[in-house]
Amino acid sequence: MLRRRMAALAAGAAALMVAAGCGSAGGSGGGDSITLGFAQVGAESGWRTANTKSVRQAARDAGIELKFSDAQQKQENQIKAIRSFIQQRVDVIAFSPVVESGWDTVLKEAQRADIPVVLTDRAIDSPDTSLYETFLGSDFVEEGRKAGRWVTEEFGDAEGTVRIAELQGTTGSAPANDRKQGFAEVIGNDAKYKIVASQTGDFTRAKGKEVMEAFLKSAGEIDVLYAHNDDMALGAIEAIEGAGLKPGEDIKIVSVDGVKDALQAAADGEINYVVECNPLLGPQLMDLVKKVAAGEQVPKRVEVEETAFDQQAAEKALPDRKY
């Protein structure tokens, strides 16, 4: 394994050199197979890595030629990549925007070159929706609603107030805003559900644990924990154990994402419900790309197929989980 990492390191360095020299090597497209230019955000999380793998695999399976670029979480890199895709005259451009705004100029260039654009996973904030054909991504608000619905079902018969603690994602990020909103929408219908503590855990395990430790001491009794992602829930589990309580029993836990570690925790009874946020959108993306390249009409908004896991479902899904 160590050796494999070293090999990956060397390969990474080699790829960098190749990338530096291949800017002018384009000129494909127009043939019988479809060429897709895909500008990825980066490799900032396990979720993202799974997302990349899925896109690569699906392109291979669908016989689509994939030109892949990694923006290392920088918008300028992504704009550069899109420009180079335009120069290379790819058939379709797909990308996950690093940030929401600032895309109008480069997308207009694509439009002028007659190359359709598909957004994946994240949306852009532009009044001109003609700049892209369709947006394929998760509905974060719906994810929040699913979590909320589970809480109202689980505690439907409970008497008295249900005290909820919430671990929010990175302040201002779309998933954090939307998951909070969707959850609040559902539990807001009944006054017995009360969010007694809500704070950001920055989507990380370390912060999730730190914040939960403070909640346990300052927020009084907590019945349910709602975490905007799995990592924060995993950190919080440790905090709850440290307080001598049993996660999943004394405090019920619902979280969003569905990474392997969280499904494992659910199978072990420590998390009660995991709402999926599916990174494996490759096959759906390739379908859309084919349709768009053929000039077919596609809906402006396509949702990724997603599910949710209770503890039994998690145990069943665990062996096939890739990320």
Partner 1 sequence: MTVLRSLARHRLFWPAAVMAVLLALNVALTPSFFSIQVRDGHLYGSLIDILRFGAPLILVALGMTLVVATRGIDLSVGSVVAISGAVACLWISELPEQNSVAGVLAALGIALGVALVLGLWNGFLVSVIGIQPIIATLILMVAGRGLAQLVTGGQIITVNSGPYRLLGGGYWFGLPASIIVALGMVAAAALLVRRSALGMLVESVGGNPEASRLAGIRSRRILVVVYAWCALCAGLAGLMISSNVSSADGNNAGLWIELDAILAVVLGGTLLSGGRFSLGGTVLGALLIQTLTTTVYTLGIPPESTLLFKALVVTAVCLIQSPAFRARLSRRRRPPAPTAGRSQRDAATEAEVTA
List residues near partner 1 by CB under 8 A. Answer: 1-2, 5, 8-9, 12, 43-46, 48-49, 168, 171-172, 197-200, 202-206, 209-211, 213-215, 217-219, 231, 234-235, 238, 242-244, 261, 323
Q: What angle do CA 32, 36, 40 make, to 5 degrees?
A: 170
DSSP letter for 243, please.
T
CB of 147 to partner 1, least distance (A): 18
Establish how many alpha carbons lie within 13 A of residue 123's alpha carbon, considering only the half-sphere containing its beta carbon.
Answer: 19
Rounded Cα distance between 314 and 258, Å, is 9
Rounded Cα distance between 101 and 114, Å, is 22
Nearest to 226 by CA among 265, 193, 263, 183: 183
CB of 93 to partner 1, least distance (A): 24
CB of 42 to partner 1, least distance (A): 9
Rounded Cα distance between 3 and 200, Å, is 38
CB of 18 to partner 1, least distance (A): 17
Structural tokens at position 35: 């060429």
Nearer to partner 1, 77 or 87 (CB): 77
Question: Which residue is associated with the tokens 């559902």?
Answer: 186
CB of 266 to partner 1, least distance (A): 15
Nearer to partner 1, 219 or 313 (CB): 219
Nearer to partner 1, 47 or 103 (CB): 47
Nearer to partner 1, 129 or 171 (CB): 171
Nearer to partner 1, 65 or 213 (CB): 213
